[in-house]
Structure 1
Amino acid sequence: MTENEQPKTKGRLFHRPLAFLCAALALQACGGGSGSSASKAPSGETPPGGVAWQWNLPAGFTPPPVPKDNPMSVAKVELGRALFHDVRLSGNATQSCASCHTQESAFTDNRSLSRGSTGEVHPRNAQPLANVAWNTTLTWANPNERTLEHQMLTPIFGTNPVELGVNEGNRASVLARFQSDAGYAQRFKAAFAGEADPVNWDNIVKAIAAFERSLVSADSRYDRSVAGKASLTAQETRGMKLFFGDQARCSQCHGSPNFNDQFSTAASLQADPSFHNTGLFNIGGTGAYPEPNRGVFEITGQAQDMGRFRAASLRNIELTAPYMHDGSIGTLEAVLDFYAAGGREVGNGLYAGDGRLNPYKDERISQIRLDATDKADLVAFLKTLTDTAFVTNPAFSAPASR
């Protein structure tokens, strides 16, 4: 589920710093990360999709936003799981959603830039999907992309770049692959009970979105330590204090329960999500970033949005290299070197310029102060955010059979 940014929209999108910075205790997590159990809806009624989805969430998490026209159900999540891992969803039947979002890599692909089913290289780095249901926006730099259902239309049907490669010429034949599959016919009937013709593109999108909302990760060593079920080493503890303190300032952009600063729940939708220019580029000293990776500027055309991208979740960060929107930084150590330097200087070539002096850079980047020991401590702490149960949970893997 990589992104393809939409055309520019009129008007100005205002960006304010988040009003919340969650303290460490607000990030408590206990128990496993499956996020669900089979039970009837709280109302006692059985939904159209059969057995309702019961959120089984750790402390610090409340249920995420779910569209009213796509309620969660066990049958729908299981259908979405099968579709997510099925290469027949692509035009040439060679690639699935899981091709760019592999479970062992915390649902990313460990490429700098992802590749679509036809081999076309995507301009952005594939984002991990852990706890994606709580993300306020769903791409690197589109403030208007707010639901999994709408965002998914781009990787399925997008043409610039081609990802799954479904188009007007093959749309009907791709759908026919699932309509003619008896196993899928039963799955769709169970997930969308009462519909005369449930095997359709709208329901394919809804089912995959439901599966993605089930991808809950909150059982890392850090979570367990806060819950009193594990202990961090002295180095990891020093790194944690740095992370949440004023010296490293990490939590100012990664302070929510999902270790980012875009976090919405069913009860609290974040109206004005933040995006940040971290000083990766400053082409020719003008503040410019390389096209088509100019951040929110690609949507608004406003100079102050140049280079602004979403702060990525740090959960399972050890498994999701390379980093940044363009995958241009290969290791956690190099990421911390970049932030400690206040940005990146590109010495020569087409993109030459000193990102540390970018006029649109978030001023907090220049306030970070880290020495070699600090950086090593932070890396140690960041590795405690790895949730091994999440990346091995069979509930998220490809079904053994359809």
Structure 2
Amino acid sequence: MRLLAAAFSVVIASAAIAAGVPDHFVWPIPAWMPPPPVPDDNPMTAAKVELGRHLFYDARLSADNTIACASCHAQKLAFTDGRELAVGINGTVAFRNAPSLANVGYFPLVTWANPHVGSLEFQALIPIFGDNPEEMGLNGKENEIFARLRADPFYAEAFPEAFPERPDLDLFTVTRALGAFQRTLISVNSSYDRFKYAGEKNALSDAAKRGEQLFFDHRFECYHCHTGIHFTNNLQTSRSAFAETGMHNTGLYNIGGTGDYPRQATGMIEFTGAPSDMGKFRTPSLRNVAVTAPYFHDGSARTLRDVIDHYAAGGRTIKDGPYAGIGARSPYKDGMIAGFQPTDKEIDDLVAFLESLTDEDFLSNPAYSDPWPAGHPATIERVSP
């Protein structure tokens, strides 16, 4: 039997709310998985989640009606976009690869490199208002765009239902509805989960089982950063005593010191100014990694084999251009990135293991899909990944 299949068929819009208790939300997760932490000022309700789902897929939340949150975070790609770098309105190319939103509610750091962005509500402000680069383009146009949304009959009812104490559509309620929906994007039903937690011994191929052994082997060191239930050392659950915030320099570039450097390479130092933070980026989760290519914060690795080759070499060599250098020689590189010599068979097994982390139910769950009917203004001219 597939792991708690019934739990994953739950449509979040119909999640039960105890009578008179607005923050009682039924999480569609198995008993062994604690829910993510929830901010005190944004308790979970089914009405709020459903409102957030509509906003997430609404292209009218961008200045020119072309970009929705879903434009950079497509469900079939585990809420990534398949591009090296994200693309905003007017074809503006961003500095970073669009990260997966699978299990994003568990991440205490929700951007690639900014250690000050610790909530989904705060993070929503970046694509909505950011202008360097421009993503959704609301900066200075929020009154116009919010008026556009208020005119929709669905929102006229949905906002008062989700926020009875604050029924008007405004930035506070928009960001909190988006945050509530994203916290429900929980992926814990992969083949590996069924093997590891449900006792389905045949859920993994022999190659994936060998790959698991390699993944947790000291020679490869994968598990030191990609650890725990979500294969990342950037983690916090509702039961955690503290938040784990993993940021590392993995030898993608050999750039350091002081001065102006390409934003692709700087990482956390851009926000802290500390030389030791040069090139540090958040450790991404490996769940659904087989469908989230291209990889790394700069989208520079096309395949899982390319990623493994990078770590096997202990860093990347770039021959020319603004990023030229030998990443393995970076004085800021994490000491765990020491390199190793895998055989072709071992790489095949590692890839098989990583592929076993794909949650097919998550990629097609209707609770996470586009709720707007074809031809609705919310979907007009949306740029699909």
Q: Do structure 1's residue 262 and structure 2's residue 237 form an aligned pair?
A: no
Q: Give, as a single letter, the amino acid of the residue that structure 2 aligns with 1:359.
A: P
Maintained 8 Å contact 2:257/2:275: no
Q: 1:112 & 1:244 partners in 2: Cα distance? A: 28
Give the one of 225, 229, 249 matched to 1:277: 249
Deviation per residue, 1:140-191 (Å, 9 max, x gap): 11111110001111100111111110021x2111001111112211111111
Asked if 1:198 is matched to 2:175, the reply is no
Contact 2:312 2:341 in 1 (8 A): yes
Q: Secondary structure of 1:366's match?
A: coil
1:312 aligns with 2:289: no
- Provide, for residues 328-381 of structure 1, a one-character-per-residue CA deviation record: whole Å limited to 9, x for no partner: 111100100110111111123332211111111111110544222211110011
Assess if the C-alpha contact under 8 Å between 1:281 and 1:354 holds in 2: yes
What amino acid is aligned across from residue 184 of structure 2 in structure 1?
S
Q: How does 1:8-23 map to 2 (within 5 A)?
A: none
Number of matched residues? Answer: 368
Answer yes or no: is 1:185 the counterpart of 2:162: no
2:17 equivalent in structure 1:
40
Higher mean C-alpha displacement, 108-117 vs 281-290: 281-290
2:184 is matched with 214
**Secondary structure at the counterpart of residue 365 of structure 1:** coil
Q: After alignment, is 184-193 or 228-237 more displaced?
A: 228-237
Q: Contact 1:70 / 1:206 at 8 angstroms: preserved in 2? A: yes
Q: Which amino acid aligns with 1:58?
A: P
Is the 2:109–2:117 Cα contact (8 Å) retained in structure 1? Answer: yes
Give, in whole Å, the separation in 1 of the partners of 2:267 and 2:322.
Answer: 18
Q: Quick one: which amino acid aligns to residue 275 of structure 2?
A: A
Contact 1:129 1:215 in 2 (8 A): yes
In structure 1, distance between residues paired with 2:27 and 2:87: 34
User: Residue deviations 1:220-263, cap 9 Å, x none?
Assistant: 11111111234311111100111122121111111121111111
Percent of residue pairs bearing the same amino acid type: 47
Question: Could you tell me how far 1:34 is from its partner in structure 2?
Answer: 6.3
Secondary structure, aligned partner of 2:299: coil
Verify the 8 A CA contact 2:49 2:180 in the aligned structure 1. Answer: yes
Q: CA RMSD in A?
A: 2.3
Structure 2: 5+ residue stretches without partners: 377-385
CA apart distance, 1:286 = 9.7
Judged with a 3 Å threshold, the aligned counterparts in structure 2 of structure 1 residues 68 and 75 are, in CA distance, closer, same or farther, namely same
Q: Does 1:356 align with 2:333?
A: no
2:350 aligned with 1:378, yes or no?
A: yes
Deviation at 1:285, TM superposition (A): 10
Tell me, yes or no, if structure 1 residue 116 matches structure 2 residue 80: no
Provide the secondary structure at the position in 1 that maps to 2:38.
Answer: coil
Does structure 2 conserve the Cα–Cα contact (< 8 Å) formed by 1:103 and 1:391?
yes
- Pairwise CA distance, 1:398: 0.7
Task: Measure, in 1, the Cα distance between the counterparts of 2:355 and 2:110.
Answer: 24
Describe the SS at the equivalent of 2:26.
Answer: strand
User: Whole-Å Cα distance in 1 between the matches of residues 132 and 195 of structure 2?
Assistant: 44
Look up the match of 1:53: 25
Going from structure 1 to structure 2, the CA distance change for 1:34 and 1:355 (only over 3 Å counts) comes to farther
**What do residues 184-223 of structure 1 show as CA deviations (whole Å, max 9, x unaligned)?**
111111111243x422221111111100001011111111
Task: Output aligned runs, 1:153-192, within 5 Å.
Answer: 153-168=125-140, 170-192=141-163
Q: TM-score, normalised by structure 2?
A: 0.90
Deviation at residue 269 of structure 1 after TM alignment = 5.3
State which of 82, 106, 118 in structure 2 corresponds to 1:146. 118
Q: CA deviation at 1:101?
A: 0.3
Structure 2 distance, partners of 1:327, 1:162, is: 19
Alignment-mate amino acid for residue 214 of structure 1: T
Distance in 1 of aligned mates of 2:60 and 2:322: 40
**SS at the partner of 2:22?**
coil
Distance 2:161 2:81 in 1: 32
Contact in 2 for aligned 1:77/1:211 (Cα 8 Å): yes
Cα distance in 2, alignment partners of residues 157 and 108 from structure 1: 20
Secondary structure at 2:246's aligned position in 1?
A: coil
Give the letter aligned to residue 74 of structure 2.
T
Amino acid at match of 1:251: Y
Deviation of the 1:61 alpha carbon: 2.0
Give 2:156's aligned amino acid.
A
- Counterpart-to-counterpart distance in 2, 1:235 and 1:289: 42
